[in-house]
Amino acid sequence: MVIVWDIVRAKDQKYRFRDSVVAYLFLAPALVLIVLFVIQPIVLSLYYAFTDYYLLEPNNIHFTGLENFRSLLDDFRQKGDVYHALVNTAYFVVLVVPIQISVALGLALLVNKPFKGNTFFKVAFFSPVVMSLTVISLLWLNILRPDEQGMLNGLLSVFGIPPQKFLSDPDQAMTIIVLVSAWQGAGFQMMIFLAGLKNISPELYEAASLDGANAWKKFRYITLPGIKPTTVFIIITTFIAATKLIIQPMIMTGYKSYTVTLSYLIYMEGYFFKMVGYASALALLVTILVGSATMLQRYLLREED
């Protein structure tokens, strides 16, 4: 009996080993890609952050310690590009996150009710999400051109209103980018909210109606608690996505002090000005900043539970 058991166990170990080998073989291509295009760039970026790496002189790299970080701090103190990028990014995040989430929730509540044309509105609200950010930015750039050839200025001229600067106006440009971004991304959050709303039992609303609860009380005491996990997920993911803003200001305004963001500045320093070491140091600080803010968000939202 012992011999039979040993044979069975040996065969079982053989099959497990074979299955493990097959599994690792299937995983190998993905692991290689992750190492080459994720882990390696991260490690190199950490190294370059402490060097004077200039893209056009790849063989002339010197370790400079914290010099790049001192330069970043000096630029911030002098209200240079780093200062403007941080302020613009913070402004964008503070506005776009609540606006986009509020619009998405409102749309989800609207299309969650059965009515004729429901599917059409779902597709219409979601369609901007599947469009390229480049296409979206070019579309709004033409609509908001500062001369009368711009669609919106052409409409205003019909009513005798002089052309507006829109994206050329430092006081308007960033707010316009916020609204365009919220319009483009709200459809995605709408679909996530819809999934959360579908998980709320209709019996809860029926019981609330029998107790005389109005629409506001149903929303406050049933809908909001029911979609709390969904809302937390959307807040965190929208926050992270907002900190990576680059395409919209790049196309709609170009490199301007009143619309440059942290991600845009990293791109410009690394690829346009070729200062890879400086850009890597900035990227490291942004990663730490965003990671810390995300963990703080998760902690605060968890405390509310």
pLDDT (tens digit per residue) in 15-47: 566 667 777 888 888 888 998 888 898 899 999
Given the structure tokens 């950490």, which residue do they identify?
46
Sequence length of the chain is 305
For residue 20, being part of any structural domain is answered with no
Look at the chain and report how many structural domains it folds into: 1
For residue 261, being part of any structural domain is answered with yes
For residue 34, being part of any structural domain is answered with no
Q: Kindly tell me if the per-residue pLDDT of 78 is higher than 80.
A: yes
**pLDDT computed for residue 12 by the predictor:** 56
**pLDDT computed for residue 206 by the predictor:** 87
- Range(s) of the domain holding residue 273: 66-301
Helices (H), 35-66: 40-48
Q: Kindly tell me if the per-residue pLDDT of 92 is higher than 80.
A: yes
Whole-number Å distance between alpha carbons of 65 and 267: 22
**pLDDT computed for residue 210 by the predictor:** 86
Q: What mean pLDDT is predicted for residues 68-85?
A: 94
Q: What's the pLDDT band for 260 if we cut at 50, 70, 90?
A: very high
**pLDDT computed for residue 159 by the predictor:** 86
Whole-number Å distance between alpha carbons of 48 and 274: 12
For residue 193, being part of any structural domain is answered with yes
- Taking the chain, what is the end-to-end CA distance rounded to the nearest angstrom? 57
Q: What's the pLDDT band for 69 if we cut at 50, 70, 90?
A: very high
Which residue in 244, 305, 293 sits closest to 92, CA to CA?
244
Per-residue pLDDT reduced to its tens digit, 187-230: 999 999 999 999 888 888 889 888 888 889 989 999 999 999 89
Q: What mean pLDDT is predicted for residues 250-260?
A: 94
Q: Kindly tell me if the per-residue pLDDT of 304 is higher than 70.
A: no
Whole-number Å distance between alpha carbons of 131 and 133: 6
Q: Kindly tell me if the per-residue pLDDT of 156 is higher than 80.
A: yes
Beta strands in 46-200 (DSSP E): none
Q: What mean pLDDT is predicted for residues 112-140?
A: 90
Q: What's the pLDDT band for 297 if we cut at 50, 70, 90?
A: confident
For residue 192, being part of any structural domain is answered with yes
Residue 50 corresponds to which tokens in the numbers above?
A: 């402490």
Is the separation of the CB atoms in 63 and 50 below 8 Å?
yes
Phi, psi (rounded to 5 degrees) for 171: -80, -15
CA geometry: angle 100, 104, 109, nearest 5 deg: 150
Mean pLDDT, the chain, whole residue set: 88
SS3 content of the chain, % helix, strand, coil (to 5): 75, 0, 25
Is the separation of the CB atoms in 258 and 170 below 8 Å?
yes
CATH of the domain at 254: 1.10.3720.10
For residue 46, being part of any structural domain is answered with no
Sign, CA dihedral 270-33-250-289, equals: negative
**pLDDT computed for residue 89 by the predictor:** 96
Q: Kindly tell me if the per-residue pLDDT of 75 is higher than 70.
A: yes
For residue 212, being part of any structural domain is answered with yes
For residue 43, being part of any structural domain is answered with no
Number of other CB atoms surrounding residue 103 within 10 Å: 19
Whole-number Å distance between alpha carbons of 58 and 17: 45
**pLDDT computed for residue 58 by the predictor:** 86
